[in-house]
Amino acid sequence: MIFRFSAQQFVVKQCLILLASGLIGYWLGYFWLALFVVTAATLAWHYKFLLGLIKWLWHKNLLYPPESKGIWGHVYDGIYRRIKSYRKKQKQLNLRIRQYRDGAEALPDAAIVLDLYFNIRWSNKKANRLLGVRWPQDAGQRITNLVRSPVLNKYVKKMDFSEPCSIVSPDSPEQQIEMRFMLYGEDQYLMLARDVSQTKRLEKMRRDFVANVSHELKTPLTVMQGYVEVMLDQDDISEQWRKSLDTVQTQVSRMDRLVQQLLVLSKVEVPAEEDSRHNVHLPKLLDKVMEDVHWLNKQKGHEIAVEIDPRLGILGIESELKSACSNLIVNAMNYTGTGGRIDICWKKQGDYCLFSVKDTGCGISEFDISRLSERFYRVDKSRSRDTGGTGLGLAIVKHVAANHNAELLIESQLNQGSTFTIKFPASDSFTIRKLESAIN
């Protein structure tokens, strides 16, 4: 029943009761007594409903209010309607939460909701199977206390979630788990974890296969190279044979370079361990690289400008850095025409240390730049073949950069030239003192 409340009616009714009781009292000669009795009765009536209300709210688990009259009908009805609307909203909210949880349970990944301090708020059943996180028992625990991994600890401390974090399962060293953190809502993270052991195993098999095949090809290639050289040294071979043998020699050398690059690539593709990095005297390393490749410059006579900070060293893997730097320098020489200019620079700039190779060569179109570091991607296949290119150089540079927390940046304009830069964090650099340069 819906009570319509009117303040006017209520006041008029109260006044009429008091007036009637006053008149009757006056007529009987007990004016004040009559007023007192009526006021006390009204109070008792109100107390009755007030106590009824308290009993209903606190002691009875009923949705519907007890029978009531007058102004108390309005009070009971108002409270009843509020409760009903709250219950409806709560039901809808529960339904939404259930739908959201069912959705999270249906995910193929382990899903954990964390607060801003990485304490667990909720997790699905797969999180229990994969990471041993149980909900609600583990609610409030910090994720790094339950999933014990130094890699995860470091990742969470760094607060950079742009890349996923790969850890070895704390339960089984065979199992590799990949985790992603996403900030959502205002104050929570969604952490998704999946078992990537199979993918990693296949990746490793592919890498091992390429490395093994390349390794096996090395010996026959060396033998072929030897025999071709011996045959070319003979004075009595015909001009036709000499030409054929020259072609064989060129192709064998190309194949040999390809095999060498494949071996380097399979090595640098594996993320480097932190402790495999050492202080590298990069200025000295660049001197060596320039010595190795200067013969390439003889034919084309490039103008080469070198600006190297002689005191700037970097934490890294020397062989990898050598390979990356020489790939960039050789590319600049290969793809820059006769008389072009090449600027090689190694310096500190703000929070970064930059190794850059700038040339005035053929340049690369915007479309090709994005695909350049893919394996075997060449802008111009015939030109790359002419230069003896394998199409693996920039893929190697990209992996080396990733292994050094660095980034490969490419700027280029068609027919104007290109700048390839490896951007290292300055926090990995060190100042070379005399003693170190003597040792290196």
| Residues forming the site for ligand ADP (CB under 6 A) | 327, 331-332, 335, 359, 361-362, 364, 372, 377-380, 384, 389-395, 418
CB 180 within 8 A of CB 201: no
Report in angstroms how near the CB of residue 217 gets to ligand ADP at its nearest. Answer: 18
Return the number of the residue (34 or 330) whose C-beta is nearest ligand ADP.
Answer: 330
Nearer CB in complex with ligand ADP: 135/377: 377
Please tell me the distance from the alpha carbon of residue 165 to that of residue 161, in angstroms, as a whole number.
8
Nearest distance, CB of residue 329 and ligand ADP, angstroms = 9
Q: How many residues does the chain have?
A: 440
* Nearer to ligand ADP among residue 77 and residue 380 (C-beta): 380
Structure tokens at 371: 């695909």
177, 181, 167: which is closest to 116 by C-alpha?
181
Residue type, 393: G
Q: Toward ligand ADP, which CB reaches closer, 122 or 335?
A: 335
- Tokens found for residue 137: 């028992």
Shortest Å distance, C-beta 388 to ligand ADP: 8
Whichever of 112 and 258 has its CB closer to ligand ADP, that residue is 258
Q: Residue 388 region, left (φ>0) first, then alpha (ψ -120 to 50), else beta?
A: left
Q: Which is nearer to ligand ADP, 277 or 378 (by Cβ)?
A: 378
| Of 345, 341, 367, 373, residue with least CA distance to 357 | 345
Asked if residues 153 and 170 have their Cβ atoms less than 8 Å apart, the reply is no
- Tell the residue number behind the tokens 């890498």, with chain if given: 207
Tell me the pairing of strands 120-123 and 110-115: antiparallel
